[in-house]
Amino acid sequence: MGRVFIEKFCFVVVVLAVLIGSSEANGCDFGCDLFEGSWVIDNTYPLYNSTACPFIRKEFDCIKYGRTNLEYLQYRWQPNNGCNLPRFDGKDFLERFKGKKIMYIGDSLSLNSFQSLLCLLHGAVPEAKFTQEIYRENATVTFLDYGVEIVLFHSNLLVDIEVESVGRVLKLDSIKSGQIWKEFDLLIFNTWLWYTRRPPGQQWDFVEVGGKLLKDMNRVEAFRAGLNTWAGWVDTDVDTAKTKVFFQGTSPAHYHGSDWGEPAVNNCLNEITPVNGSTYPSGLPIVVDIVKQVLNNMTKPGAVSLLDITKLSQLRKDGHPSKYNRFKGMDCTHWCLAGVPDTWNQILYASLL
């Protein structure tokens, strides 16, 4: 558990490659680990033209807001051991989910991934009719020709925050929105970033856990408690025979050059190439282990698939908007579109084949 293995995909790709005379699956090995590898230049990338995508928000639209070095668009994730990640096929994706509902649940990195999927699908079927509804921080896009509904549900922490007499209370043992989520056919969750926030960005005044009201607590332990509540909800409330559930691993930021071996660098502004190779100098954050521990301790084995995108994203110090966004602030947390989140969705697609 915790890794997406795609034996049946490798078999299908080998057969198709033979039929069409393609080298796409050369060396494809049964049991490929899609999350260990490196970034390589591929002149057939990006997978869509961002200027033609109607869904990209101003935070992620790097080309529109002045980024001129575009080499970051041409990197493809290459898993180790000669096994290739399948190219995203948007039309096939829509056919597979005809009449079904997909939901991304999480913070603004879920928004990043949600908009990536929309652009990938629109790029594949640009003439397909769609509707778009936006309500506050939630959004729904429906591809009408396929009856596929794709929803963004904004939930920074996954668990509840309620306003009580003492103020805003983060309830680490409660998930009321789950009643909405469990009705969908495919769920992709993400959280972590907002657990680390301090005032004034912090979203709560008190924390409630195990029947105790606290002014604060260790943020890593708060994350663990919230994630355990979420995992328990999946175990007890989600019909995993009907609903496929994914947890998207932690997406890294790049504000400290010492993390990738350049201690004099303090943001991602001038980064134009990925970290070379398959290893990130600072290693993985502790929350990666916590996520794997929580998933491994679930009572339904295999109920959740982990999109373990942390390391492959760590290597992409060049993929952030930096100052190339509508607000001109230094953003080394989110990702340009087209860009790295397209690979997250490419791996999601591979895991569904």
Ranges assigned E (strand) in 91-194 = 101-106, 130-135, 138-143, 148-154, 160-164, 167-171, 186-189
Quick one: which H or E segment has residue 304? strand 304-307
> CA 267: distance to chain centroid?
22
Give the pair of three-digit tokens for residue 194.
């907002």
Q: In angstroms, rounded to a whole number, what is the distance separating the alpha carbons of residues 319 and 228?
A: 31
331 catalytic residue (yes or no):
yes
DSSP assigned state of 188: E
From the candidates 122, 254, 320, 334, give the one annotated as an active-site residue: 334
Between the alpha carbon of residue 317 and those of residues 14, 65, 69, 100, 149, the distances in Å are 33, 19, 14, 35, 33
Please provide the DSSP assignment of 3-48 as one string.
Answer: S-B-HHHHHHHHHHHHHHT--TTTT--TT-BTTSEEEEE-TT--SS
Place of tokens 């790709």: 13
**148/96 Cα distance (integer angstroms):** 10
CA distance 124 to 286: 37
Residues pairing with 206 in the sheet: 169
State phi, psi for 300 to the nearest 5 degrees.
Answer: -100, 100
Beta bridge partners of 130: 143
Out of 50, 108, 116, 313, pick the active-site residue: 108
Cα separation, 147 vs 306, whole angstroms? 27
Label the pairing between strands 167-171 and 206-209.
parallel
CB-count exposure of residue 262 (10 Å: 0-12, 13-18, 19+): middle
In terms of Cβ atoms closer than 10 Å to its own Cβ (0-12, 13-18, 19+), residue 323 is middle
- Is residue 334 annotated as a catalytic residue, yes or no? yes
Q: Is 320 a catalytic residue?
A: no
Residues forming the active site: 108, 331, 334
